[in-house]
Structure 1
Amino acid sequence: MALVGCLSFGQPWARADDETFGGPPAPPSAPAPSEFQRWIDRTVPALPFPAAPSPPTADLPPELAAVWRGVLPLPTGDPAFDAWPAGLDRLAPGDLVEWRDVTATTAPLAVVPIRRALLLKFRTTAASGVPSFGTATLVIPAAAWTGPGGRPVLTNALPINALGARCTPSYALAHGIHDKFNTGDLFPPTTWWGLSRGYAVLVPDHEGPWMSYAEPAVAGHVVLDAIRAVRAVSPAEFADSRFAVTGYSGGAIASYATAMLLGDYAPELSGVLAGAAAGGLVTDYRALAHKFNGNIASGILLAVSLAMAREHPELLATMNHLAQWVAASPVKDTCGDTNGPLGVIGIPIEIATNTADPLDSPAADRVLRQADLRDRTAGAPLLIYHGAHDFWLPIEGPRELYRQQCARGVPAVFRPEPGEHLLGALAGFPEVVDWLDARLRGVSAPTECPAAPQQPPASPPR
């Protein structure tokens, strides 16, 4: 699996007033390769990538552009997911590019009777700050909404955790069950639950057009722009709707980033987004990288590194020849259930880079610090939950995030759940949907922050 020398878990997302806006930053300097890394490049020939144009979001040297094209996921065959729209720079974030009715293929997967399902394609913003596009599916139940105001919308950020473009939930909703279908799209049954309550459900493809798994700026921007697109596609039904977002593990990156980026990126949605639930959340990429490197979880680290390099292609220059061959292989189209087993033999990141000590280089330090969202204030109330015995993602990170957000005045609830990472998702599900239900119905968010007024400790969050 391809890796980038500075562990590209995320380049800083650029604001409009950032001096890097409009193009990628200069490639970071890298320490010289070790003798072992030199031996790999002497032994394995470079992959002869065919000439290719630069990405729409960057101006790369021809050789690097060729590598970037070579490690992208294969096209799906559906232009809604594959075709880069013209004129994105003339659109505002969230503006619709096109939409398509996908009711026929979505209905069998929805279980609950639905009135309509729409595949939305809209303008969003890449991590570098330049225009990009996103996709999402809006599912509207058949039952009429009888509550006050517009029909609420549950935004379900699924744990896509994939490198292949056909692994996205919207592709499945538009094409039905297929060979790369992700069973995590259906269980836990968050979408079914939302539809059964009369809520519309918005399912965003939060990895973006290049499947940039775990890139927080891409994920947060896509979700926020999907909300904007829903409000635009049917203003009579959704202009006054409340939205809430939820996600677990890879989906938690998206729900968390949505709340943390809202104030700067989509301030008009303050008050529209009634709450964000995030479970099994990664808060410290630096610590996680060291924990995953070279052990049985290394497949996740390798997959994330390739995915992040797609969004930040200047970092592909630190791939060695071996990484190029693997990154251009069918590995680049794997889905979430395959990434974990890829690293079962414990592959260290150094094997795929031409940079010595890639996790502790100055470039890695700069990128990881700039990708860290913990210094921001959430723009919506939070429910943070985590497996109390999660041995891969320690609970201390989410617990500290809760304390930090409390100190900033954010209404927040923290729940340790019994079990490790997978069991934590199941154990937390009943309380999470109860909390979401209350937010979507307009009940004020509770807080259990020590310095804030709160409900009695024995009361569950509503």
Structure 2
Amino acid sequence: MRKHTSRLLAVAVTAALAATPLAATAVPASAATASASADSFYAYDGSAPLASFEPGAVLKTRTLTYHLVGLPTPVRAIQLLYRTTDAQGRPAANVTTVVRSLTGDSTKAVSYQSFYDSLDPADSPSRAIAGDLSLGGLIPNAESLFLIPALTQGYNIVIPDTEGQSADFAAGPEYGTNTLDSIRAAVRSGATGMNADTRFGLLGYSGGAIATNWAAALAPSYAPDVNAKLVGFSEGGLLVAPAHNLKYVDGSLAWSGVIPMAVIGVSRSFGIDLKPYLSDYGLSVYRQLEDGSIIDAVGHYPGLTWKKMAKPQYADPNSVPAFVDAVNRVNLGSAPTPTVPGQIAQGNGGVLEGTFASPAGIGTGDGVMVAGDVRALARQYCATGNGAITYQQYNLLSHLGAAVAWAPTAFVWMNDRFANRPAPSDCGHIPAGNDLTPERAVPAS
């Protein structure tokens, strides 16, 4: 059944891509492909220390055929191995994929951040595009549908592996630096057709929204050169304060599997070991998902709670100092305010999911993301000097449904930013949200 579905998806998306004017980007069938299991492209093997390169420096380049669920399309993709910075401030190497403008326009580009949400590097967008097929990799394959409007409108497209090469799921700051250095690499590479005058828009939903917002927030300090090129960011289904989200999905039927995924990913990113605080059952779940994707988690652990995963004395996650430290580091409420216009969308129809209460709105969130947190962040941006923020709340839509509603509005909004039209604002009209102050540690029981 999975193979049949995958082939149908590939045929549908390939047909849609074939309907666009792709003749200029066609490549022979013998163009390079790659297997994630034995692909030396992903490892930096140069003689100079990685730290000797500036963030965004291009380390390797290759051109290959853009694949969908393992099937080649007429589209050419350029992949870059580039230098970036991980969540602990260490130099790292990462990969991004570039699809050049079909019209040859070098002035505009969209950086699209995928919601591939996985703890396995094999599920990254670059590997799916290179032709390697994995179950978790079906997500970035399906997302190709989101990119068709950008292709038909002449945009260059940049698709970073936002989670890095160790797949640090939910580690927002690392998502941000990977995204910003991907843009730097795309501009610096002579193979992409882009240059110092190319302007960029940031686009992403769910896990892609994490990368999009952290990139926008970190750009003024980490990459002012990139910030100067940004026209704005559009996102939906955003993770703001992970400690709230863990309470929200705690015990839910569908999304509770995100709890161990986030624990693993954030721990991996910051070099924190949370295993000593887990029960035997918690350790079992941890091992099952250590290399899993969102496909392995959602719906697989109905009713899972932190309390079931933790040793009795750590039933309150805030009694674990390492946990408190980790969730505070990835709380967007403590990150800087972006200086470019933003469009933020959020579903609020997941009323039956989770237990975290919100002071306003029909529901508490979309089933996995907390709407009150997203409203609070949008209001915070307005209050701290960014008056070009729009906020749309879909009160009847869940996390998946809101993605469908957000996508077409995102491209309309982004087109206006590239056209230099004044950015709209909802500041002063966004309903109240939740308290985003950092978590406080409590004694273990």
In structure 2, the residue matched to 1:427 is 405
| Aligned mates of 2:308, 2:44 — CA distance in 1 | 35
Shift of 1:319: 5.3
User: How large is the RMSD of aligned CA atoms in angstroms?
Assistant: 2.9
Indicate if the aligned counterparts of 1:289 and 1:359 stay in contact, CA closer than 8 A: no
In the TM superposition, 1:225-244 aligns within 5 A as 225-234=181-190, 237-244=194-201
Q: Secondary structure at the match of 2:391?
A: strand
Indicate if the aligned counterparts of 1:278 and 1:383 stay in contact, CA closer than 8 A: yes
Relative to structure 1, the CA distance from residue 401 to residue 85 in structure 2 (aligned partners, 3 Å threshold; closer, same or farther) is farther
Picking from 339, 344, 357, the partner of 2:297 is: 339
Shift of 1:422: 1.1
Indicate if the aligned counterparts of 1:95 and 1:228 stay in contact, CA closer than 8 A: yes
| Aligned mates of 1:350, 1:200 — CA distance in 2 | 47
Aligned: 1:439 with 2:417: yes
Q: TM-score, normalising length from structure 2? A: 0.76
The residue type paired with residue 326 of structure 2 is V
| Aligned mates of 2:117, 2:170 — CA distance in 1 | 8
In structure 1, the residue matched to 2:276 is 318
Q: Secondary structure at the match of 2:238?
A: coil
| Aligned mates of 1:318, 1:285 — CA distance in 2 | 21
In structure 2, the residue matched to 1:36 is none
Aligned: 1:245 with 2:221: no
Q: Secondary structure at the match of 1:405?
A: helix
Shift of 1:106: 7.0
Q: Which moved more, 1:257-266 or 1:366-375?
A: 366-375
In structure 1, the residue matched to 2:328 is 369
Shift of 1:406: 1.0
| Aligned mates of 2:418, 2:120 — CA distance in 1 | 33
Post-superposition Cα deviations, 1:202-233, rounded to whole Å, max 9, x if no partner, equal 11110111111110111000000000000100
Q: TM-score, normalising length from structure 1? A: 0.73
Indicate if the aligned counterparts of 1:318 and 1:354 stay in contact, CA closer than 8 A: no
| Aligned mates of 2:226, 2:416 — CA distance in 1 | 19
Picking from 159, 165, 168, the partner of 2:121 is: 165
Picking from 288, 294, 305, the partner of 2:263 is: 305
Shift of 1:130: 1.2
Relative to structure 1, the CA distance from residue 215 to residue 354 in structure 2 (aligned partners, 3 Å threshold; closer, same or farther) is farther
Indicate if the aligned counterparts of 1:156 and 1:190 stay in contact, CA closer than 8 A: no
| Aligned mates of 1:178, 1:139 — CA distance in 2 | 22
Post-superposition Cα deviations, 1:59-118, rounded to whole Å, max 9, x if no partner, equal xxxxxxxxxxxxxxxx7321233567661111111111111112354799797x64x411
In structure 2, the residue matched to 1:5 is none
The residue type paired with residue 166 of structure 2 is W
Indicate if the aligned counterparts of 2:202 and 2:232 stay in contact, CA closer than 8 A: yes
Relative to structure 1, the CA distance from residue 441 to residue 98 in structure 2 (aligned partners, 3 Å threshold; closer, same or farther) is farther
The residue type paired with residue 379 of structure 2 is R
The residue type paired with residue 333 of structure 2 is R
In structure 1, runs of 5+ residues without a counterpart are 1-74, 452-462
Aligned: 1:395 with 2:371: yes
Picking from 226, 235, 238, the partner of 1:278 is: 235
Indicate if the aligned counterparts of 1:120 and 1:136 stay in contact, CA closer than 8 A: yes
| Aligned mates of 2:426, 2:412 — CA distance in 1 | 16
In structure 1, the residue matched to 2:86 is 126
Q: Which moved more, 1:394-403 or 1:358-367?
A: 358-367
In structure 2, the residue matched to 1:27 is none
Q: Which moved more, 1:75-84 or 1:390-399?
A: 75-84
The residue type paired with residue 199 of structure 2 is R
Indicate if the aligned counterparts of 1:350 and 1:356 stay in contact, CA closer than 8 A: no
Relative to structure 1, the CA distance from residue 186 to residue 238 in structure 2 (aligned partners, 3 Å threshold; closer, same or farther) is farther
Aligned: 1:293 with 2:269: no
Q: Secondary structure at the match of 1:245?
A: strand
Post-superposition Cα deviations, 1:288-328, rounded to whole Å, max 9, x if no partner, equal 11222343322111111112222223324535574555544
Indicate if the aligned counterparts of 2:277 and 2:320 stay in contact, CA closer than 8 A: no
| Aligned mates of 1:230, 1:110 — CA distance in 2 | 23
The residue type paired with residue 412 of structure 1 is I
Shift of 1:345: 4.1
| Aligned mates of 1:355, 1:201 — CA distance in 2 | 49
Relative to structure 1, the CA distance from residue 83 to residue 92 in structure 2 (aligned partners, 3 Å threshold; closer, same or farther) is closer
Q: Secondary structure at the match of 2:296?
A: helix
| Aligned mates of 2:93, 2:370 — CA distance in 1 | 34
Shift of 1:241: 0.7
In structure 2, runs of 5+ residues without a counterpart are 1-35, 350-365, 430-445
| Aligned mates of 2:267, 2:186 — CA distance in 1 | 30
Picking from 27, 30, 53, the partner of 1:91 is: 53
Q: Secondary structure at the match of 2:272?
A: helix
In structure 2, the residue matched to 1:415 is 392
Post-superposition Cα deviations, 1:325-354, rounded to whole Å, max 9, x if no partner, equal 55445x333222222123224243552558
State the aligned residue count: 372
